[in-house]
Chains A and B, each alone.
Chain A
Amino acid sequence: MRVPGAWYLGLSAVLFTIGALGLLVRRNVLVMFMCVELMLNAVNLTFVTYARMLDDIGGQVLVFFVLVVAAAEVVVGLAIIVAIFRSRADATADDISLLRG
């Protein structure tokens, strides 16, 4: 007996909310970035669930693209974080309020 898709959707909704909460609550830039990855994973789970429910491979292809874009995003984001750490040795998001350091 297969698990209904609604349970997967509920689980991914909870995962997305935990990621959003972490993004709002935490101050460490790296942990905030990890919370963004959590939210991306929750959305990926939703895509795969809908692909199964609607019997369409397009949902899985879209997850593939999300994975590629997430990898590129992590590379650029971590490079920005490294550049910020070089100019000021602190990890809290409240201190990074200027576009030009």
Chain B
Amino acid sequence: MDWFVFVVAGLAALAGALGVVLARNPVHSALGLVMTLFAVAVLFVAQGAHFLAAVQVIVYAGAVVVLFLFVIMLLGVDRSEDLRKEPLVAQRPMAFVVSALVLLQVLLLARTRWVTGAPSLTAPISGPGTDVEKIASTLFTRYLLAFEATSVLLVIAVVGAVVLARRTPGGGLTSHQEAAPPTETAAPPTETAAQ
């Protein structure tokens, strides 16, 4: 049964990944990405990471891919791209060579007997309790500072996205030059009023 789940989900993940790379239409690429994300979520469940599987489906398939599709539709770039056209000379064969090297390296590194490290004593997965409780108790004790830092990161990302995507009246990307003069002109009257 475990092998069946692994083979089916693994083949689905590979098919989705190939679909992302090979699809000419960006919308089809996004759908292939959804397929891969769901398959990886199934593999998470097969390995006992139920919480992460739920988060994977909610955050990735629910938010990230929808954001991708939003941008594709917003920009109107859902037209096909000619994959046979090669803009740079010999770029594609070199990409294949580099990818093959990467695959070889990662497979070598992933050989099981090279995995080092002792099994954990402080935060084991096996034992009583669900994985949600264990993730929570580890996250809010040992990784509390990192957790707080991610909240700051999310705020920065939201502010950055708003600043980048804002449409300014002048047509530029930023409005610092336009925002600066009014404060300078507004300063002298207050000084005279104070005097």
Contacts and interface: CB of A to CB of B under 8 A. Distances in A.
Q: Do A and B come from one complex?
A: yes
B111 A55 contact: no
- Size category, A interface: 35 or more
A53 interface: yes
A29 to B, nearest CB: 9
B56 A57 contact: no
Contact of B106 (A13, A25, A82): A13
A67 interface: yes
Contacts of A96: none
A75 interface: yes
Contacts of A65: 143, 146, 150
Which of B23, B87, B99, B162 counts the most A-chain CB atoms under 10 A from its CB?
A: B99
Contacts of A72: 153-154, 156-157
Nearest to A91: B77
Which of A22, A61, A73, A83 counts the most B-chain CB atoms under 10 A from its CB?
A: A61
A75 B158 contact: yes
B120 A17 contact: no
Interface string A1-37: 1111111111111111111111011111011011101
Given A9-B110, A45-B43, A82 B48 contact: no
B120 A18 contact: no
A92 B81 CA distance: 10
B193 interface: no
Contact of A24 (B20, B63, B98): B98
B136 to A, nearest CB: 10
A22 B74 CA distance: 23
B30 A27 contact: no
A38 B32 CA distance: 10
Nearest to A19: B17
11 contacts: A16-B102, A18-B17, A18-B20, A20-B102, A21-B95, A21-B99, A25-B21, A55-B119, A72-B154, A76-B161, A79-B165
